[in-house]
Chains A and B, each alone.
Chain A
């Protein structure tokens, strides 16, 4: 039995590594494509945001309001421009980053109404609106203080309460939170992607290429044939997320200093320890074993590569859904969340990086993955024992 499993495992690894597709999914995506495609946009967006804040923004003041004009001119972050055509067109062509209208100038009214027209889809426009808002509020404050002074009220009466927000999370914890979120997501997806090609090739693919039947005539128990194939799937489902995590961490070490430029130095190494790595590897292994079993159950029922891919597509989507909810799950989630497959792995990764994880969470995650893994494996081996499934 063991010898048979070994033979089939070696055969699957051998044939899989001959496929360029396997190598692409196993190495190129985790180590290069994903990190680059997540890091580049982050760097670009982050850089653009910072530039927009630092540079002076163009603002057009439509109504005649000399006092305000003076305020805008005084601000070194704003540059006053004239509108030649419609406000919308000027915004679109980026001749100005935002347009300010002053509506009510009735002399008897104490309040002046102003509108800031901007394009929230443009980084520069958003930044310009922020700057204009700041100038307007300072201007308003100045006027209010003047009015109060006329009434004999001193400026200090204006403030009754002073407050500020403080982040309860340390900077490293915040980093852990974001990295955990991103890496957790990519680890789960990496696992899915890593084993998909091998699992499909070794089941539906073998049917399509008419090799499965011949394989069933070698003197190896059918259960061993299945296990050999399964273990090949697990191997890929395990290696791929690890490479993904490596690639993403490497990429993070480039991005984080840029994005957190304000807060001095960031020590990424503080986020992780050998013990944590061990737990992560164990949990990823269990998840890989679950994913491979799940994929196998589905793929063995298809009779072509393409059909198997179609069958497996919903699975890929189902896995992505929890990612959306992950952002509203607090750093210390309720216990039951650690029983949900895939979600638990993402939460666990995040919790470990943030140092907020109770030991019980590891236990629940391991237990949950084991249970689901065994269930999926039973389904897979039932499919594999069925003539209908294998021959049709």
Chain B
């Protein structure tokens, strides 16, 4: 069964000075799937995500979210996206739930829905104990949960997560991964990471990105087969051409 496309990225290019950060990125995410963007440092994952979220403008290429063009209708597209940015923060003096509320308001979520959603998100993410605490007083793991909550409170058709487990200790990473396992059922998620095991565990399909290009795309099995490798790590190392 072929599901409908939620995110379509075509021919994306972006240059910073003399660095060609993106050099023709194409991929699609379909409804209900968790699509991984796997790549080494500096591959262009964050740049791709920034382009999708209209933080920066690509030099070339097109992005559509549920058929809405990011270039020609950025606000409409942004309404459909909840995002956890790489190394992102929230307002330190506001409490966890005030932060979620603020982001929901800025996204134009109907006021009557916000409290209800925050309750359910805190429940899912196990945040009941921390929701009244100032953001700056939370542990890194809990901060990351609030950031996730902030993206979920919009109830977006597309959820984008840029290395959401980076900088967390192993238990906290596991908590976030388990949460993603829990929420992925009903959502389309674009997930960027450079951790193989994470990609293997979570992703329905993934794209391996290197030097601003997609070097392989498909399910883990498909990628391994294409690369002639036994596992994802081996395939990855072969594909990004840094196989020792």
A residues within 8 Å of B by Cβ?
Answer: 7-8, 11, 14-15, 18-19, 209-211, 213-221, 387, 390-391
Contacts and interface: CB of A to CB of B under 8 A. Distances in A.
B105 interface: yes
A60 B30 CA distance: 101
B213 to A, nearest CB: 22
Contacts of A209: 89, 91-92
Contact of A219 (B57, B79, B88, B90): B79
Q: Which of A15, A18, A213 has the most CB of B within 10 A?
A: A213
Interface residues of B, number: 28
A219 B106 CA distance: 7
Contact of B94 (A8, A18, A216, A217): A18
Contacts of A220: 75, 106
Main secondary structure of the interface of B (DSSP, over half): loop
Nearest to B89: A210
Contacts, number: 66
Contacts of B50: 213
A22 to B, nearest CB: 10
B87 A210 contact: yes
B143 to A, nearest CB: 11
Contacts of B56: 387, 391
Given A7-B105, A7-B106, A11-B102, A217 B90 contact: no
Interface string B48-92: 001001111100000000000000000110110101010111111
A77 B57 CA distance: 82
Interface of B: 50, 53-57, 75-76, 78-79, 81, 83, 85, 87-94, 102-103, 105-108, 150
B90 A216 contact: no
A218 B89 CA distance: 15
A156 to B, nearest CB: 82
A11 B106 contact: yes
A296 to B, nearest CB: 19
Contact of A18 (B53, B54, B76, B93): B93
Given A214-B88, A217-B55, A390-B55, 7 more contacts: A7-B105, A11-B102, A11-B106, A19-B93, A214-B83, A217-B83, A221-B75
B75 A387 contact: no
B102 to A, nearest CB: 6
B191 to A, nearest CB: 17
Nearest to A225: B106
A213 B108 CA distance: 18
A332 to B, nearest CB: 49
Contact of A218 (B85, B90, B93, B103): B103
Contacts of B79: 219
A211 B55 CA distance: 12
B105 to A, nearest CB: 6
Given A218-B78, A221-B75, A211 B88 contact: yes
A217 B78 contact: yes
Given A18-B94, A19-B93, A210-B88, A217 B105 contact: no
Contact of B89 (A11, A211, A221, A387): A211
Given A217-B53, A217-B81, A218-B78, A211 B91 contact: yes
Contact of B91 (A15, A221, A391): A15
5 contacts: A11-B102, A213-B50, A213-B55, A218-B78, A219-B107
A-B complex: 9 closest residue pairs judged by Cβ atoms? A210-B89, A18-B93, A219-B78, A218-B106, A219-B75, A217-B53, A219-B79, A209-B89, A387-B56
A138 to B, nearest CB: 70
A219 B76 contact: yes
A213 B88 contact: yes
Contact of B54 (A7, A8, A19, A216): A216
A18 B53 CA distance: 29
B54 A211 contact: no
A81 to B, nearest CB: 63
Nearest to B107: A218
A11 B94 CA distance: 11
Q: Which of B78, B79, B150 has the most CB of A within 10 A?
A: B78
B114 to A, nearest CB: 13
Contacts of B75: 219-221
Contacts of A210: 85, 87-89
A388 to B, nearest CB: 9
A216 B88 CA distance: 12
A86 B124 CA distance: 86
B150 to A, nearest CB: 8
Contacts of B150: 214
Contacts of A215: 106
Contacts of A14: 94, 102
